[in-house]
Amino acid sequence: MKTIIKIFLGISIVVLGYMCIQSIMTPIKFDKEKEFREKAVIQRLVDIRKAQLEFKDQKGGFTTSIDTLIGFLKTAKKKAVLKEGSLSDKQLEAGLTEAKAAKIVKSKNMKEIIANGLENFRRDTAYISVLDALFPDQYTQETIDKLAIIPYSNNEKFELKVNNSYLNTSQILIPLFDASAHYKTYLHDLNHQELLNTIDLRVKLEKFPGLKVGSVDEPNNFSGNWE
């Protein structure tokens, strides 16, 4: 009988020890994986911010449709100055500026061009793809569609909100937007109780339970809630 009790106590100690370790390790593992995933989500939100700001510059306001935003990136053009050569300290000291040098080169007066040492100086205006201008090494026409998808989610899309009628205290119109991803979208397959605890904490703090960039309530310089 004593042997059975000892065995039972031994098993109980092992089980309790395992449970204690798990109670410590579970939140640690959750936080580590959360941090890892949020790096990818944050990068996607930063890219959306960059695209939205370009959209506003060209269209006059933001869009609530991520698909419209991606369509814009695929088709829109952006003015760019193609640069070749630079002005030396000697040229700058002589009073040459970028604008003056460009004007001289544009005149095609070779005598003046040579006199100012601008034979290899070029400043040409061209129109290039917005996609290439904003994301030269990140996306292509074939991969830009993934901008809409929240990493580690079940192909769920970022939520976009817009306030194109916000007036500041000086009655100046300031278009606003936000883009967000709820914890439930990219942490859905992690420990359920830890996820609920994380959401509950943010709600109690009256903060968005997830990652968000921008705000439709008031200007915040389009910053992210992780910054």
Distances (CA, A) of 148 to 156, 179, 223: 8, 10, 19
The better pLDDT of the pair 119, 34 is held by: 34
Residue 82: pLDDT band with limits 50, 70, 90: confident
Backbone φ and ψ of 157, nearest 5°: -95, 155
What pLDDT, on the 0 to 100 scale, is given for residue 62? 95
Query: Does the pLDDT value for residue 26 go beyond 70?
Result: yes
Percentage of the chain exceeding pLDDT 70: 89
Backbone φ and ψ of 136, nearest 5°: -60, -30
- 211 closest CA partner among 176, 183, 177: 183
Rg (CA), the chain: 28
Query: Does the pLDDT value for residue 87 go beyond 80?
Result: yes
Residue 24: pLDDT band with limits 50, 70, 90: low
What pLDDT, on the 0 to 100 scale, is given for residue 144? 97
Q: What is the 3-state secondary structure (H, E, C) of the chain?
A: CHHHHHHHHHHHHHHHHHHHHHHHHHHHHHHHHHHHHHHHHHHHHHHHHHHHHHHHHHHCCCCCCHHHHHHHHHHCEEEEEEEECCCCHHHHHCCCCHHHHHHHHHHCCHHHHHHCCCCCCEEEEEEEEHHHHHCCCCCCCCCHHHHHECCCCCCCECEEEEECCCECCCCCECCEEEEEEEHHHHCCCCCHHHHHHHHHHHHHCCCCCEEEEECCCCCCCCCECCC
- 187 closest CA partner among 45, 8, 42, 31: 31
Q: pTM higher than 0.75, yes or no?
A: yes
- 209 closest CA partner among 191, 196, 227, 192: 196
> pLDDT tens-digit profile of 129-188?
999 999 998 999 999 999 999 999 999 999 999 998 898 888 888 999 999 999 999 999
- 143 closest CA partner among 76, 78, 74, 77: 74
Query: Does the pLDDT value for residue 199 go beyond 60?
Result: yes
What pLDDT, on the 0 to 100 scale, is given for residue 12? 57
User: What is the spatial distance between Cα 33 and Cα 40, in angstroms, rounded to a whole number?
Assistant: 12
What pLDDT, on the 0 to 100 scale, is given for residue 107? 87
> pLDDT tens-digit profile of 202-218?
999 999 999 999 999 99
Distances (CA, A) of 158 to 55, 145, 207: 17, 12, 18
Residue 4: pLDDT band with limits 50, 70, 90: low
Query: Does the pLDDT value for residue 70 go beyond 70?
Result: yes
What is the rounded average pLDDT for all residues in the chain? 89
User: What is the spatial distance between Cα 6 and Cα 18, in angstroms, rounded to a whole number?
Assistant: 18
What pLDDT, on the 0 to 100 scale, is given for residue 18? 47
Backbone φ and ψ of 81, nearest 5°: -100, 120
